């Protein structure tokens, strides 16, 4: 885009301006010209000074699209024609800035319209111009996640030289230009052949990522959990392809993340001491071998973001989390206690919140469930409440996710007072707070009596006196009387008997093996 803009300036200066401007005396003008079909927008030059046939100088250059958004802003550019001809110009560009816009988690780009000039058409200006060299000073990039977040990096110097029919560019980041971030380092090489539209590049960088910049990337992909990152990112990547098909120039490469911290909204640190490996594939970003400290526990897993040509982007991952603080997991205002472990696999399409799919297994030990919906209403409805009956509770659950809906395959709770097993098929919508299903409730004091050998005759009568089956249906923030009702009890399944025997042997604790069997997540 930079070379194309420089070529346009020179072509305007040399080939399209009135002949009387080709004079020995410098002439200054301002320009605002449409560029269709090359670009669906305008080129604006606040001041174009012509000293032809020796040079052309431009100040205040701006390339805007049809919505008047700037895509390229250049403070100053100059083309010197040492031979008094358009060819072999020596071009210098100072403080150019490229902007990339993302809206609704998709790149909103004007670049495809450039192909309307025909295959390689927008490069013909560069091919006809044939500059001898292009020097770029303090190039910057800004990523704009519309409507209201952006991040910039600048301080890139580059030098381009013609070699036969091709152009080779070399450059890198100047650490002295961004003194507040001295660990920004990088270098690149690129080659472009205007005649064939073939291009390639190589990039190596070391970036000290900061929350202000990284938050824009998380905004761009629509992350629902992480909002920013701080840490060291090492990356090397390369690509080669045709500029008429920008997807062929998606980079492939690898990198690492070291000593990183992930933050949520409000700036609270979620994960610290994070390390990971990065893999770049055409249209895909994979972050794997992730290890981090998380709320006094540990986490590991992998994450991917895929954006195939002609389709919406998709992100997802697989994570194992062990022994994190339940109180910290639930937020700074939580008074809960206990430990939480879970395993999760999920995917979600960009800009489609209801496209979330996945499966989760969760295990809580000695957790305070005193304010957890549904469970507290069940205790209240069955008049099981006593002083802090849910302070030391264990939970083992397996559920699938589809949009905002959770569908439980298994959900078991064991407290000091009672054991609860929700029957398979319990559903909960965490957006509307609607829940529907059935639960078997057994007071803990009755479990041992139930497990004493019961004669086959009279078994159902004995169980009926000890077990409650309740229906849960309604909004979980309603009182128990409006959410819970008694239902007909039939019998206990073998799985429920095994659950009750297990918590009886462990004085109310759900053993870790119960979670280990659940976390073998189904596909």
Whether the CB-CB separation of 296 and 273 falls below 8 Å is answered with: no
| Model confidence pLDDT, tens digit, residues 498-514 | 888 888 888 788 988 88
- Point out the least confidently predicted range of 253-267, 298-312, 328-342: 328-342
Q: State mean pLDDT over 301-318.
A: 82
Mean pLDDT of 131-140: 87
The three state secondary structure string of 111-156 is HHHHHHHCCCHHHHHHHHHCCCEEEEEEEEEEEEECCCEEEEEEEE
Eight-class DSSP state of 233: E
Please tell me the least confidently modeled range out of 163-167, 306-310, 419-423, 517-521. 306-310
- What is the predicted pLDDT for the residue at 67? 83
The rounded distance, in Å, linking the Cα atoms of 101 and 111 is 11
pLDDT band at 105 (very low <50, low <70, confident <90, very high): low
The per-residue pLDDT for 315 is: 86
The total of other beta-carbon atoms located within 10 Å of residue 399's CB is 20
If one compares 195 and 202, the residue with the highest pLDDT of the two is 202
**pLDDT value for 370:** 76
Higher pLDDT, 160 or 11: 160
Categorize the per-residue pLDDT at 157 as very low, low, confident or very high, splitting at 50, 70 and 90. confident
CB distance 9 to 79 below 8 Å: yes
For residue 466, pLDDT beyond 80: no
Worst-scoring range by mean pLDDT, 1-5, 96-100, 187-191, 205-209?
A: 1-5
Whether 112 has a pLDDT exceeding 60, the answer reads no
Counting beta carbons within 10 angstroms of the beta carbon of residue 163, is it exposed (0 to 12), middle (13 to 18) or buried (19 or more)? exposed
Q: For position 93, what pLDDT does the model report?
A: 93
What is the mean predicted confidence (pLDDT) over 324-331?
Answer: 83
Confidence category of residue 395, pLDDT binned at 50, 70, 90: very high
* pLDDT value at 8 more than 60: no
pLDDT number for residue 457: 41
Tell me the mean pLDDT in the region 122-148.
77
pLDDT at 303 over 70: yes
Lowest mean pLDDT segment, chosen from 54-68, 453-467, 485-499 = 453-467
Phi-psi map region of 433: left, alpha, beta (phi>0 left; psi -120 to 50 alpha):
left
Check residue 460 and give its pLDDT.
Answer: 47
Average pLDDT over residues 468-490: 89
Q: What is the mean pLDDT of residues 230-246?
A: 86
- Residue 113: the pLDDT is 47
More confident call, 302 vs 30: 302
pLDDT of residue 376: 85
Using CA atoms, how far residue 371 sits from 366, 379, 490, in Å, is 14, 11, 30
- What is the reported pTM? 0.75
User: Quick check: 322 pLDDT over 70?
Assistant: yes
Distances (CA, A) of 252 to 187, 231, 245, 379, 432: 16, 22, 16, 56, 42
Residue 194 confidence (pLDDT): 83
Query: Taking the CA atoms of the chain, what radius of gyration do you get in angstroms?
Result: 32
Tens digits of residue pLDDT in 9-38: 555 544 444 444 455 566 777 888 887 766
Residue 181, helix vs strand vs coil: coil
Q: What percent of the chain has pLDDT over 70?
A: 78
CB 316 within 8 A of CB 358: yes
411 CA to centre of own chain: 30
Identify the band that residue 245 occupies on the pLDDT scale cut at 50, 70 and 90. Answer: confident
Average pLDDT for the chain: 80
| Omega within 30 of 0 (cis) for the link into 212 | no
Mean pLDDT calculated for residue range 243-263 = 86
pLDDT for 2:
57
CA dist 114 and 72 (Å) reads: 14
Enumerate residues 6+ apart whose C-beta is below 8 A from 159: 133, 134, 135, 136, 169, 170, 171
SS3 81: coil
Q: What share of the chain is helix, strand, coil (3-state, %, to 5)?
A: 20, 50, 30
DSSP bridge pairs for 90? 80, 133
């Amino acid at each position: 885009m930079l070379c194309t803009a420089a070529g346009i300036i020179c072509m305007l200066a040399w080939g399209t301006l009135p002949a009387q401007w080709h004079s020995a005396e410098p002439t200054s003008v301002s320009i605002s010209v449409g560029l269709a079909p090359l670009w669906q927008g305008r080129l604006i030059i606040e001041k174009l000074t012509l000293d032809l046939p020796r040079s052309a100088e431009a100040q205040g250059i701006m390339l805007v699209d049809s919505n008047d958004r700037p895509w390229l802003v250049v403070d100053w550019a100059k083309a010197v024609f040492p031979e008094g001809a358009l060819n072999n110009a020596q071009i210098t560009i100072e403080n150019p800035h490229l902007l990339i816009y993302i809206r609704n988690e998709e790149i909103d780009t004007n670049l495809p319209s450039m192909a309307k000039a025909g295959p390689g058409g927008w490069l013909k200006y560069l091919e006809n111009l044939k500059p001898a060299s292009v020097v770029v000073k303090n190039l910057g990039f800004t990523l704009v996640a519309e409507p209201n977040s952006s991040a910039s990096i600048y301080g890139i110097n580059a030098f381009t030289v013609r070699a036969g029919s091709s152009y080779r560019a070399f450059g890198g980041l100047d650490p002295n230009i961004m003194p507040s971030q001295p660990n920004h380092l990088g270098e690149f090489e690129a080659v472009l052949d205007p005649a064939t539209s073939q291009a390639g590049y190589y990039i190596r960088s070391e970036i000290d990522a900061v929350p202000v910049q990284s938050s824009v990337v998380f905004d761009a992909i629509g992350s629902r959990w992480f909002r920013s990152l701080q840490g060291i990112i090492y990356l090397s990547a390369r690509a080669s392809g045709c500029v008429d098909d920008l997807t062929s120039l998606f980079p492939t490469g690898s990198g690492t993340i070291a000593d990183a911290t992930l933050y949520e909204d409000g700036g609270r640190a979620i994960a610290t001491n994070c390390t990971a490996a990065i893999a770049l594939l055409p249209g895909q970003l994979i972050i794997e071998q992730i290890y981090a400290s998380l709320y006094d526990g540990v986490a590991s897993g992998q994450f991917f973001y895929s954006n195939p040509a002609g389709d919406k982007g998709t992100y997802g991952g697989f994570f194992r989390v062990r022994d994190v603080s339940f109180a910290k997991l639930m937020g700074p205002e939580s008074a809960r206690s206990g430990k939480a472990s879970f395993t999760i696999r999920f995917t979600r399409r960009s800009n489609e919140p209801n496209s979330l799919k996945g499966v989760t297994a969760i295990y809580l030990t000695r957790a305070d469930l005193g304010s957890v919906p549904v469970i507290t209403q069940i205790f209240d409805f069955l008049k099981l409440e006593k002083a802090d009956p849910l302070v030391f509770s264990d939970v083992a659950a397996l559920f699938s996710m589809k949009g905002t809906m959770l569908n439980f395959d298994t959900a078991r709770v064991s407290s000091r007072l009672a054991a609860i097993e929700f029957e398979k098929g319990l559903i909960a919508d965490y957006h509307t707070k609607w829940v529907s299903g059935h639960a078997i409730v057994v007071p803990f004091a009755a479990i041992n009596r139930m497990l004493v050998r019961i004669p086959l005759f009279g078994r159902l009568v004995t169980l009926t006196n000890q077990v409650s089956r309740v229906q849960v249906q309604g909004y979980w923030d309603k009182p128990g009387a409006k959410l819970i009702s008694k239902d007909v009890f039939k019998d206990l399944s073998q799985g429920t008997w095994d659950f009750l025997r297990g918590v009886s042997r462990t004085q109310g604790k759900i053993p870790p093996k119960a979670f280990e069997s659940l976390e073998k997540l189904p596909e």
